[in-house]
Amino acid sequence: MRGKVKWFSREKGYGFITDEQARDHYFSVQDARGANLPASGDHVQFQSQDTSRGPRASGIQLVARSEEGRRGDDRVRCGHCERKMVPRIISYQGVVERSVCPFCAETYRDFMLPPSTPLWRWVALVVFVLVVFIGC
């Protein structure tokens, strides 16, 4: 059957799909097929099974990415291995230190640079421009 991802948490590893009859189906990250993880608003195809806890989706395949999902695509190209990736955030005692490429583990962005370096200013400018343009 077909449905739309109601929400999915990458952190928790589970979410819900709403089918065409407006029934919610639980799914976990292991139920998704392919390299692309489902994101909120995506259209998917799946099998459903009734369990004691309610309907559960399996064999989830992406039919179409949502517009929302495309706008929220936070993948970037790693400057080291050239692969498209979502940087992994490395934090120490609650302070974000840097982000790394999940494939080659090279540092993508170092958040601990002293605030007076030109790179920091450049990053701040880019972030500012992004916030202004995407925020509205």
Closest-CA residue to 84 (of 36, 119, 134): 36
Residue with smaller CB distance to Zn ion, 105 or 125: 105
Residue with smaller CB distance to Zn ion, 43 or 98: 98
Closest-CA residue to 69 (of 96, 34, 35, 41): 41
Residue with smaller CB distance to Zn ion, 60 or 101: 101
| Interacting residue ranges for Zn ion, rule: CB under 5 A | 78, 80-81, 101, 103-104
d(CA 57, CA 113): 45
- Closest approach of Zn ion to the CB of residue 105, in Å: 7
- Closest approach of Zn ion to the CB of residue 73, in Å: 18
- Closest approach of Zn ion to the CB of residue 98, in Å: 13
- Closest approach of Zn ion to the CB of residue 102, in Å: 8
- Angstrom distances, CA of residue 64 to CA of 34, 47, 122, 126: 13, 17, 35, 30
Direct distance between the N- and C-terminal alpha carbons of the chain, in angstroms, rounded to an integer: 36
Residue with smaller CB distance to Zn ion, 32 or 100: 100
